[in-house]
Structure 1
């Protein structure tokens, strides 16, 4: 019997599990796959954090999470792998995804939460009506039509730019600079920065290329059918996704080793290979034919020494990067309530919250289609609902506390202030949605640790500052023969630190490994697409040709209205005329051969 190729996957998060999945299914039993995970469970940042000893009389412990799960419409790789994971009782774990029909904005002083209902047509048509989509986004918020018009013009200009021009030009400036965010009202700036409530985006720190791509995707999502643009799991991540995934991989021969953190990589410089890895506090040495690293950004950066970085240009750029300047904190908290406060059928942004909060009331989704109530499934029977909150700004001072989140002395201090900010946004003059007497207990992500030296976060996220694309490694570095990266910080088409990015990186890593093994099989990749209509695709194609040949934007497009002085902008009629002019210009462009 031929010797099987040994693959060591370092890290059991979404990237590591995805790499194991693709190898197990594509390898024809040719690979011996071992996953080494530092914690005691798979999932990384996605794993559930059940509160020990809170379940009674057959109920599960109360379910905490690193943060709420979110599956936007532009995810392609993750739904694909979920459709290949059997679900106990039949079907696949993709059947555990349920659609959200609303998005909420909770402003301080508002009479009630503004609920954006997603009911737009299922197709854009020949040309995207950007004004209609952005108008839906800001309808009822009090944003001036001039500011809305200026934002539409910015996004139309971005939509016309080819991917190559976006990377060459917009990568090197922030999204806030690109839209001239400082010239907008404070109210509008709060709304733009609340883009972070859906994905790990920071409009002020993130590059215009990365943030612009995702903002455009979110805008285009408003043209999708109700419930198809925003999906969540119908239960805790562990039970609805990760546990079935681990069971399936074990059935395919994948072996898991828990409590085994990676402490060092040994490099054979002369052969341009990883010779081995040191695991755990004892420094146990493991050997493999190939190594797939699926570690968070900061731990991975510590493992890339001079000898390894010297073998590959992308790893050298990665080593030179100031990793702490590339990251921010985005972690979750859960508030377990005596009554189910649904708020809206989807996610809620808190644009006034100093700590950039976003939330979702989860019980409505976790009991959908079931006869049992939340209180019958989790805890001791006293908890009827759970509000899951993401805290995305740890460096802004909360006026009521006179501290940043990172300056707090305990998790209780953080949780109390987050609760106060949530109540400010939700408890308008019409009704009091949240009451202190409803709160049973609260949970903060266990990755946040309070020490004598201050607050530490074990899982910071890449926030894609300008120029950071060039500091991120490739999934399959050419200079190292047997090292690959399946992590959300590598260069991918997704280009965002998300579960989708980790899954795509894993596929790129596996494809690189398969190629070096001389195998023809490949994991499927799904190019990121912008469904803005065939005429917009034609403009982008011509812009690509013009940019690659002459390094200039397409010269024969109509010029947008403006320029405008600070605080001014176009009328909506001017924006409509400009959209019509762009559409006419696109029709006049000949088809490219």
Structure 2
């Protein structure tokens, strides 16, 4: 279903669905169900779009201009996203045939910034460039091949690790590699600092906000595989990297909410789930808590729980565990901080036509200069008329000492966080050749308000933390179908083809939940498509061989110890069962 076509089916009478949560997962499920004739009510405590929504700096707009835009962290849409773009193109937008998907703009470059501008690289990741060689992909990640002798032993080994993962069977991925950390999979111990910084740590902290020591090789390897196929021009026609042409809520969430209202969806903001009331194998109703201590019940035929993973744990002793005791496994899932700060600059400052990765930054920073992609004139549209650009930065490492105060971000004040991030940006972008950033450019800044406690009373807390896929986490992630016959789960922590906390994963989980609900309801409409990640046919036979080896408890045929490893194991694995 694309281009705004709605799926309908003959019904004896519309069934009521209670959607608990209005983030990407909740709104996706609401849209799919409403288009199929269900009566949907969505309750959300904070804001439509969840972590994907944008906000603003209160009181910063003057002279009829809008307040300066802010966000939890910048949004980007990799080329391997397929389910979410399908949703975007079905959200109508006046004068745009492609719907909200028409608001996406290609980010054609990626800059790997280095301290003092040493060995920095700008990679062309545009769709126009066409398929890329493996060496071009390495350069795109900021990995410089060796000189006349070709790849260094470390880079050859890293290539081996990617080849091992890409030819591993699904059984080995879910078994051995999900139980193996990215740190151990890449043999980081005993390797050079540069190898760890670029190939091991850089692939996790700057992209998926997770420590290489605890993140599963299944997650990180799968993410890099999907990105790699995108850079190779495989698996779809979308650009490798796309961003929106306006603040997220303006370009996407607001039109989405308007479309849902037009479908008859009841959207109730300011209400959170207090308790699930369960009888037998069915959820009868949920108790809601609203503004000012209000309380009421919400009854429905079907319930979809689409609240964030950290809040799911809080519901276990308030009816959720009674509905399905197996959901207790979510308490074993971990979250970490990947949150944003925006610097508003007095001059347009397009550092590159895309994202910047600061490989030497102790706080694992990434950024994007946003105004160059937005259709509106920034200075004329936002703030007091002096700000001309928004440099949006994600902070992924909150526990590492910085370069100014020598403290981790969690122990800094909000002003110290801003000063520290600015210093690390300058360290990566400025050098002897010239300065890209200087104090004269800085108009103001805004740190994600979900971060509290930095200015006291502590300790610091993050109200919108991000799921990280630690070793063994796949088994703890719930399925969309629960033991309760009328309760389904959706969210970026629910099992789906994208094994990573992303907007695509949230969208896929919602589609899976809707498909299960339609089946349980006996609804005649087809289930939403859940798009699988691209897997080349050329590697199918190697994966079949590996599946047989894994069942026999044997190592992957290409798995070899690192050249710097002194005591390699025998490579044997224990297959499940």
TM-score by length of 2: 0.88
2:97 maps to 1:88: no
- Structure 2 residue matching 1:183: 3-state secondary structure: coil
Match of 2:436 in 1: 433
Equivalent residues of 2:515, 2:528 under 8 A apart: no
Counterpart pick for 1:102 among 96, 109, 114:
109
Match of 2:573 in 1: none
Q: CA 1:198 to 1:98, structure 2 compared with 1: closer, same or farther past 3 Å?
A: farther
Counterpart pick for 2:313 among 284, 301, 305:
301
* Equivalent residue runs for 1:400-419 within 5 Å: 400-408=404-412, 410-419=413-422
Taking the aligned partners of 2:339 and 2:527, their CA distance within structure 1 comes to: 31
Match of 2:533 in 1: 529
Taking the aligned partners of 1:246 and 1:172, their CA distance within structure 2 comes to: 40
- Show CA shifts across 1:87-121 (max 9, x none): 13333110111111111111112258521123696
* Equivalent residue runs for 1:49-198 within 5 Å: 49-91=55-97, 92-110=99-117, 113-118=120-125, 122-123=130-131, 130=134, 133-134=137-138, 136-140=140-144, 145-191=152-198, 192-195=200-203, 196-198=205-207
Q: 1:447 Cα shift?
A: 0.7
Gaps of 5+ in 1: 568-593
- Show CA shifts across 1:148-206 (max 9, x none): 11100111111111112111111111111111112321122122322243444543321
Counterpart pick for 2:402 among 384, 388, 398:
398
Counterpart pick for 2:278 among 267, 272, 276:
267
Taking the aligned partners of 1:491 and 1:475, their CA distance within structure 2 comes to: 7
Taking the aligned partners of 1:364 and 1:131, their CA distance within structure 2 comes to: 29
Q: 1:449 Cα shift?
A: 1.2
Q: 1:299 Cα shift?
A: 1.1
Counterpart pick for 2:452 among 449, 469, 481:
449
RMSD of aligned Cα (Å): 2.5
Taking the aligned partners of 1:526 and 1:46, their CA distance within structure 2 comes to: 20
Equivalent residues of 2:492, 2:500 under 8 A apart: yes
- Show CA shifts across 1:127-148 (max 9, x none): xx64553355345488972221
Counterpart pick for 1:362 among 362, 367, 370:
370
Gaps of 5+ in 2: 1-10, 567-577
Equivalent residues of 1:112, 1:431 under 8 A apart: no
Taking the aligned partners of 2:560 and 2:487, their CA distance within structure 1 comes to: 51
Equivalent residues of 1:11, 1:294 under 8 A apart: yes
Equivalent residues, number: 543
Q: 1:274 Cα shift?
A: 4.6
Equivalent residues of 2:278, 2:323 under 8 A apart: no
- Structure 2 residue matching 1:182: 3-state secondary structure: coil
Equivalent residues of 1:61, 1:379 under 8 A apart: yes
Taking the aligned partners of 1:113 and 1:444, their CA distance within structure 2 comes to: 27
Taking the aligned partners of 1:140 and 1:552, their CA distance within structure 2 comes to: 34
2:33 maps to 1:23: yes
Q: CA 1:17 to 1:562, structure 2 compared with 1: closer, same or farther past 3 Å?
A: closer
- Structure 2 residue matching 1:109: 3-state secondary structure: helix
- Structure 1 residue matching 2:178: 3-state secondary structure: helix
Match of 1:540 in 2: 543
User: Structure 1 stretch 14-23 or stretch 3-12: which is displaced more?
Assistant: 3-12
Q: CA 1:315 to 1:43, structure 2 compared with 1: closer, same or farther past 3 Å?
A: same
Match of 2:345 in 1: 337
Equivalent residues of 2:209, 2:337 under 8 A apart: no
Q: 1:279 Cα shift?
A: 2.6
User: Structure 1 stretch 85-94 or stretch 339-348: which is displaced more?
Assistant: 85-94
Q: CA 1:98 to 1:438, structure 2 compared with 1: closer, same or farther past 3 Å?
A: same
Match of 2:247 in 1: 236
